[in-house]
Structure 1
């Protein structure tokens, strides 16, 4: 059996090792991306961003992924419009719920109309981009 002091020392060493690893990981993340950061290393948020619409490719330039991850555009407008939920199945197909009636104007005109859709998107040629759309029957 280990004595109590040895267990406490082992716990302190483990916590210290995790802290050093976490600090190195954070530092690697902080220096990897060309974003403006404050003195504490937190990303500065632009409180007055440009509201003009951008292409999906341009928007992707402003999404930062941690090391080891990548981002790929698989579907965009007009194939998908106003998605509120997305799910993938085991065959790589994407189910998209679209809420096309949400806030069409400030009065909420048409919000209760049953025009929302559920779409099934599929990549038929294996290039990783959805190219086939099926509308699933739904009432919402």
Structure 2
């Protein structure tokens, strides 16, 4: 399945979670609910995936964790903040670069409408 197709399913699942739970909960609650929705959709989902940092050809385990990795292709970084900051966008772009993945979604559940809280980031992704 192409990353774009996976992204569509993730956005649908995020919508379902947001409609059911609304804003104002902890990030961990949305993570658990989103994982459940994605698995119901038939997708493979891993949570809190370790991401080592490679520095001068040495992999260093420095505690970076991907919130969700869907189908081993799409990184999902979850937030529950009043305002998504530039550093949140940069964090996801760095995770994409360090992992070699091509697509990531930054999803902030602390918004009145979920479509306003979803940001797509790419790292060399094509439409093919």
Larger-gyration structure (1/2) = 1
Structure 1 or 2: more strand by fraction: 2
Interval containing the TM-score (normalised by the shorter chain): under 0.3
TM-score, L = length of structure 2: 0.24
Ranked by relative contact order (alpha carbons within 8 Å, sequence separation 6 or more), the top structure is 2
Normalized against structure 1, the TM-score is what? 0.22
